[in-house]
Structure 1
Amino acid sequence: MKYGIAIFPSKKLQDLVNSYRKRYDPHYALIAPHLTLKDPFDVEDEDELKEMTRQIHEISDNIQPFNINVYKVGSFHPVNNVIYFKVKEEERLSKLHEQLHKDELYSERPYTFVPHITIAQKLPDEEHHDVLESMKMMDIDHSEPVDRFQLLYQLENGSWTVYETFHLGKVR
């Protein structure tokens, strides 16, 4: 089964992102707006899944909550036609991403980690350029706390749902 790890932002930010995704993202109906921490990966048996969730709990216990700040629109063009809200680099966010790719959780990363929330993808080049140029004029400055992230799994219809939520910082 396919799994992935992501942060779901506040409803306020999700509503803003979805106002664009409805029109510009063919994955709109498959997953809520999110910041990907670990791209999809396969887990085949229950024991492997239990061990992996134990390790993820250990990681989440040792990283304190942090803020994310969305501050501009960016694009991965020409590598692919993705338009996104850029999230400022944050030490604990980067550490969380790194920890989720170490040791037994290791998996190939197809790209360098660029914290972002996708707002458009798979557009033809000309439309991508037009949409990007108009979105770059937006004044974006949104900050919010992050105190949890989710392990997701993919359903047969291609949509994603939460398997387990992990809270940051050890509960004392």
Structure 2
Amino acid sequence: MLKRCIMIFPEFKNMNLIDQIREKYDPLAKHVRPHITLVFPFESNIKTNELKEHLLKRLEGIKPFYLSLKGIVTSRANGNYIFLNIEDGKEKIIELHNNLYTGILEDYIPDWLRKVEYFPHMTVGNVANEDQYIKAIEETKNFNHVFETIVDTISVEIIDENEDSIIELNIPLG
């Protein structure tokens, strides 16, 4: 059984600013590049070619799109999270998310996601305790850099036993 995740790995000119926050507050910073999750981690025996076929079908006709992120948003759903807010491209990400969670991936929608609306974001922190969380919120409250790019690829990663990301597939849009 493989543990996988489907995501967008955006490339920004000022990516180092995101990396600095993640190194401080995100325990996964050394395991996976900054990303936007479309399909949350799931374990399955789906073959690579079956998954690729599903993605090609569900992404058909979707063109590359503009993405911008700015500002910090916090969430206490399932942890003490600090997110980079998506300003432009949110609707397209929701469309991708909804398209991908059909067919062979429909059974892998996490229970928690069935109870809430999908909120596109980039995680930049997940801290263990209340004091760290309050400190992280305070230290990031004025983080108002703008991050812009064109999203042109959707990636499937395999998450290994060390939580490291191994890219299995890259599917170009358009």
Shorter-chain TM-score bucket reads 0.7 to 0.9
SS in 2 for 1:12: coil
Q: CA deviation at 1:41?
A: 1.1
Matches of 1:102 and 1:45 in 2, distance apart? Answer: 14
Q: Quick one: distance in 1 between partners of 2:29 and 2:159?
A: 15
Partner of 1:155: 160
Q: Report the counterpart of residue 166 of structure 1 in structure 2.
A: 171
1:2-81 alignment runs, 5 A limit: 2-44=3-45, 46=47, 49-77=48-76, 79-81=78-80
- How many residue pairs were aligned? 167
C-alpha deviation, 1:78, in angstroms: 6.0
The CA distance in 2 between the partners of 1:59 and 1:14, in whole Å, is 29
The answer to which of 73-82 and 22-31 deviates more is 73-82
Paired with 1:13 and 1:163, the residues of 2 have a C-alpha distance of: 26
For residue 139 of structure 1, what is the amino acid of its counterpart?
N
TM, length-normalised to structure 1: 0.88
CA positional deviation for 1:11? 4.8
Distance 1:45 1:66, change over 3 A: closer
CA offset at residue 74 of structure 1? 0.6
Q: Distance in 1 between matches of 2:96 and 2:14?
A: 21
The CA distance in 2 between the partners of 1:40 and 1:120, in whole Å, is 17
Secondary structure (helix, strand or coil) at the match of 2:144 reads coil
**TM superposition score normalised by structure 2:** 0.87
> What RMSD in Å do the two structures reach over aligned CA positions?
1.8
Equivalent in the alignment of 2:139: 134
2:95 counterpart of 1:104: no
How far residue 79 of structure 1 moved from its aligned partner, in angstroms, is: 4.6
CA contact (8 A) 2:25 2:126 kept: yes
